[in-house]
Structure 1
């Protein structure tokens, strides 16, 4: 992984690096590896994650097909003036 520093702006480069690491899942993996996870716990966690993903996909599909209402739209109040 590479991040280029432009105009000696290290803060910007650090933000970019953190965002890339977040997308890759590196932080999540480091957190998981801090302690040992039993194989049975790992299987249970992965199964729960798969169920969560499947439910989310089914919910999105139902929203697209109009079977259930979609998420509420946020109304941004503008100042008059």
Structure 2
């Protein structure tokens, strides 16, 4: 993973690095590896993750087909200044 530092702006580079690490799931993996996970707990977690993914996929499919309304659009605020 690589982050470019522009104009010696370390704070911005750290923010970008943290965002990239979050997106890659590194924080979640570090937390998971910090302690032993029993095989039964691992199976339960993986099953719950699979159920969550399947529900999300089904919800997106239903939204595409028009059976349920899609996510609410955020209004554009032009008076930000």
Shorter-chain TM-score bucket reads 0.7 to 0.9
Aligned to 2:23: 23
Which residue number in structure 1 is paired with residue 64 of structure 2?
64
Report the CA distance shift for 1:78/1:9 in structure 2 as closer, same or farther (over 3 A): closer
| TM-score, with structure 1 as normaliser | 0.84
- Structure 1 unaligned spans of 5+: none
Q: TM-score, normalised by structure 2?
A: 0.84
Question: CA distance change for structure 1 residues 78 and 10 in 2, over 3 Å: closer, same or farther?
Answer: closer
In the aligned structure 1, how far is the partner of 2:31 from the partner of 2:53?
Answer: 21
Total equivalences in the alignment: 79
Q: Which stretch shows the higher mean deviation, 64-73 or 2-11?
A: 64-73
Instruction: Give the alignment's Cα RMSD to 1 decimal.
Output: 1.8
- How far apart are 1:3 and its partner, in Å? 1.3
| In 1: Cα distance, 2:2 partner to 2:68 partner | 43
Gap regions ≥5 residues in structure 2: none
Equivalent residues in 2 for 1:1-81, closer than 5 Å: 1-75=1-75
Structure with greater Cα Rg: 1
Stretches of 4+ moved more than 3 A in 1?
A: 72-79
